[in-house]
Structure 1
Amino acid sequence: MEPKIGISKDNRQAVADQLAKLLADEFVLYTKTRNAHWNIEGPDFHSMHIFFEGQYQQLDELMDSVAERIRKIGHYAPGTLTQVLQLTHLTEQEQGKNDSLGFIKELLEDHESIIEFLRGNINPFAETYKDLGTSDYITGLMEKHEEMAWMLRAHFRQ
């Protein structure tokens, strides 16, 4: 049954298309953070293993909420790896040393990429597509990514 929530079918489709890209990015970032958790090496192994675990747990919740937002506006969330890889803006992790700063640098870049994507969609969702709910939702999501990025960035000295 089609939702009657005050947003046109075409606008809901446009929003869902952008949210599908976001969900794919969240899934790739989650996977890369899991990889860091599993494969970290070095003298800071234990603390970073725990740190990355906290980050991927947060991303798991974010990922689920994006999928649920897609469903709330009447669309299906992409749920296959093929779909994720077709939709994501992010790239696979480069093979290198499994040290904390290498993992952190790449994860930070991905968070910042997602933040820019979210920031670029806040106004279009509200103004162009008349979906204030999703605009508000991604504003909150952006703030969560900003906090996670800050936690990663804090590992680098200025």
Structure 2
Amino acid sequence: MAVAMKKQTIGDANVAPHWHAKAKEIQAYGSVIEDMPHRLSAKVRAEMVGKLNQLLADSIDLRDMYKKHHWQVSGPTFYQLHLLFDKHFEEQVELVDTIAERIQLLGGVTIAMGGDVAQISQIPKPPRGKEEVPVQISRLLEAHKIIMQQCHDIAEAADDAGDDGTNDMVVSDILRPNELQSWFIGQHLVEMPLILDK
């Protein structure tokens, strides 16, 4: 039988959790903090934040696609791909965090929730069901291609705007790992006999 507890206080402090808190947003999505100690203007930061949020949404989608395929992979290469997809998922977790932190550093608000990501992602949505390995890999390669193109475009725009930090991040921290992951999974589509005829 549940017993109702009286309001608990210690001195003047109420120790019961305030779990029905409601308030207005403190910063709207799509905005940047105007007055902050950053050398870039609010206009440049807003432009970069918009581009980075698109990259973030697509990277979140790619990250989650790796986990989907990790769970649903089957066939003769199951073990290798099961491990590889999970390794790439973990690496994408770090890339997503890197992009999100750059957005916050520029005074922006990161896209974060799955439903919001789904609305703006440019990566084609896979079906809920299981697909054959070559299709899974092809989907991942297409997603990597989209993200790598975005990295190039953002790096170019950041360079033009004098945003060295964003330029460096998208090239060094996002583009290069995506290139490497793309190469690793792409090699699984190379047609190579297991036994050579003599």
TM-score class, shorter = over 0.9
2:153 alignment partner, one of 120, 123, 127: 120
Gaps of 5+ in 2: 1-32, 192-198
RCO comparison, higher one (Cα < 8 Å, 6+): 1
Which residue does the alignment assign to 1:134? 166
Quote how far apart the aligned CAs of 1:101 are: 1.9
CA distance in 2: counterparts of 1:94 and 1:81, whole angstroms? 16
- 1:75-90 superposed matches below 5 A: 75-90=108-123
Which residue does the alignment assign to 2:178? 145
Q: CA RMSD in A?
A: 1.6
CA distance in 1: counterparts of 2:148 and 2:93, whole angstroms? 17
| Post-superposition CA distance 1:57-102 (Å, at most 9, x none) | 1111101111111011111111122321222111211467533222
Larger helix proportion, structure 1 or 2?
1
CA distance in 2: counterparts of 1:4 and 1:97, whole angstroms? 49
Which residue does the alignment assign to 1:105? 138
1:57 alignment partner, one of 90, 99, 107: 90
TM-score scaled by structure 2?
A: 0.75
Q: State the number of aligned residues.
A: 157
TM-score scaled by structure 1?
A: 0.92
Gaps of 5+ in 1: none
SS where residue 154 of structure 1 aligns?
helix
Which of the pair has more CA radius of gyration? 2
